[in-house]
Amino acid sequence: MIFGFAIAVAGCALLVALWSFVQAARKRLPDTPLLVALAVIEVLLVAQLVIGVVLLVGGHHPGSLATYLAYLIGCLVVLPVGVAWALAEQSRSSTVVLGIACLAIPVMVLRLNEVWSGASA
């Protein structure tokens, strides 16, 4: 994996998480700019998936292939599930749900890089 790209994805997700929690503290519902920021993070995660697959096809191998693929694909699922939940609920806590979903992304991305570097499951 490209460590600098992973740090950028994690940093963006942390910023959007902070934004979500500030919005929740201000008793705001998820708005369009916040949803656009989440979409940008999702695009970054899709780019990370493409990078990961290209590296696998190129002959590089992580410490545990199954764990690596689970984190690589799992990263893509977290935000859409959080957004679906937030849009279905439409309350102040839905903004908190988006923040928590954003906090899960850096954890998963950094763990993905650990597995890539040779750590096993």
What pLDDT digit, counting tens, does each position of 21-66 carry?
999 999 999 999 999 999 999 999 999 999 999 999 998 888 888 9
The answer for residues whose C-beta is within 8 angstroms of residue 100's C-beta and 6 or more apart is 17, 82
The predicted structure's pLDDT at residue 38: 97
Rounded to two decimals, what is the model's pTM? 0.90
**CA of 16: how far to CAs of 37, 55, 98, 119, in Å?**
7, 28, 9, 29
What pLDDT digit, counting tens, does each position of 93-121 carry?
899 999 999 999 999 999 999 998 876 55
Higher pLDDT: 12 or 1? It is 12
Backbone CA torsion sign across 85, 78, 107, 119: positive
